[in-house]
Amino acid sequence: MILEKYSIGIGDRFGRQGGAQLDAIMRAQAEGIAVVPVWNKSHREHTIIGTRPGDVRAEADAAVAARRYAGRYYVDADHINLSNVDAFIEASDFFTLDVAETIGRGPAEEDLRAFVHAYGDYAGRLAIDGVDQVLEISKEAIERIGRTFLAAVKEAGRIYRHIEEVKGRGNFVTEVSMDESYAPQTPVEMLFILAAIAAEGILAQTIAPKFTGRFNKGVDYVGDAGQFEREFREDVAVIAFAVEEFGLPQNLKLSVHSGSDKFSIYGSIRETLAEFGAGVHLKTAGTTWLEELIGLSLAGDEGLGIAKDVYRQALGRYDELCGPYATVIDIDRGRLPDADAAGGWDGPAFAAALRHDQSCAQYNPSFRQMLHVSYKVAAEMGGRFYEALERYETQIAPHVMENLLERHIRPVFGG
């Protein structure tokens, strides 16, 4: 199973927008953009919403059947580890092995010695096509990288082999993710992480490093876009080198997590991919839920009532809802309208504050992030919320479709 060059992760918290999401993919394909969909959902999301991995498979299969889609598609067990992977194995064919927690945990001394022995000869200067500066690599650096990352890669190997035993070699796509770690990985670190992944026998097709800057949920990139561009280029170049050097899968590519809405870096991603002929996996999450809220608010009546209720309840549960996402949101509480103020808005006013249109004076990124993490409130509404999604489906679907196609697929993968 070989993942295509361009793929997009389309999270769908409540599992009702698979068709609208697939419409965006099929329109893009008709425009000549060869991107394939990957429906992803993490253990955390399943737990909060009360769904199971099989529900994502059912949603994807149903959307594909309804649209008579003949292309490839995948179901991603997102951010899984050994403790929760079993529930995902049958329904998934794409596995994001999350080993960020193991980074920094010292490896067994004999593993470390073997690692330093295997790669010690790289000490010195190394020129890689596409990396502007010649890499200066010391033996100490190789040992330090082993101490920091080797245990994490070994853990990825354990999860990988566990899945392989059930599904069989080559029958699934593997991603190794280190994005939820503290510090961005340098090109030299990336090089030896990939060496260790190859040595561990993991057929990784995507790797998700941590990039510089903040990838906050549902809002634009915050950080030094120039530095991001350099890092992204270096990572792409190091991957191309490592594929040949260590015998990794030829289609190995970067995966950008929390990749939705990062409008200010899409241009540099697109240009770098074109320059290197490289692919990318862009993982979006949560923006489809916000489009549902936009559709509901514009529908008025009960739809707008639900959107306002979600916000009112969320404000009262600020710490509980924001706590788990503290590292990936930046909410200015002084900019959050109080519940009565938002309660007085009409649908277009609510939608304008929420919609990610930076040219719109009403757009409020704090309001948007607050609602991004408030999907638990909607999940708890249960039937009332799901019935509204059904009743207002025709008002919601165009927002879901346009958001993916116009704000994400075309800017990243378009010509």
Residue 150 or 282: the one with the smaller Cβ distance to Zn ion is: 282
210 or 368: CB nearest Zn ion = 210
Cβ proximity to Zn ion, 281 vs 356, nearer residue: 281
To Zn ion, the closest distance from the beta carbon of 258 in angstroms equals: 6
Using CB under 5 A, which of the segments 80-88, 141-149, 184-192, 255-263 binds Zn ion?
A: 255-263
Give yes or no for residue 217 binding Zn ion (CB under 5 A): no
With contacts defined by CB under 5 A, name the span among 211-219, 257-265, 301-309, 312-320 that binds Zn ion.
257-265
Q: Is 231 in the site for Zn ion (CB under 5 A)?
A: no
Minimal distance in Å, beta carbon 36 to Zn ion? 19
Residue nearest to Zn ion (CB): 257
Residue 179 touches Zn ion, criterion: CB under 5 A? yes
Token pair, residue 233, equals: 């280029």
121 φ/ψ angles, rounded to the nearest 5 degrees: -65, -15
Question: Whole-number minimum distance, CB 409 to Zn ion, in Å?
Answer: 19
Q: Does 43 bind Zn ion (CB under 5 A)?
A: no
- Between 95 and 392, CB nearer to Zn ion: 95
189 lies in the binding site for Zn ion (CB under 5 A): no
Residue span binding Zn ion (CB under 5 A) among the ranges 144-152, 252-260, 262-270, 387-395: 252-260
Interface with Zn ion, residue 257, by CB under 5 A: yes
The nearer residue to Zn ion, 126 or 328, going by C-beta atoms, is: 328
Q: Which is nearer to Zn ion, 221 or 350 (CB)?
A: 221
Could you list the residues that contact Zn ion (CB under 5 A)?
179, 257
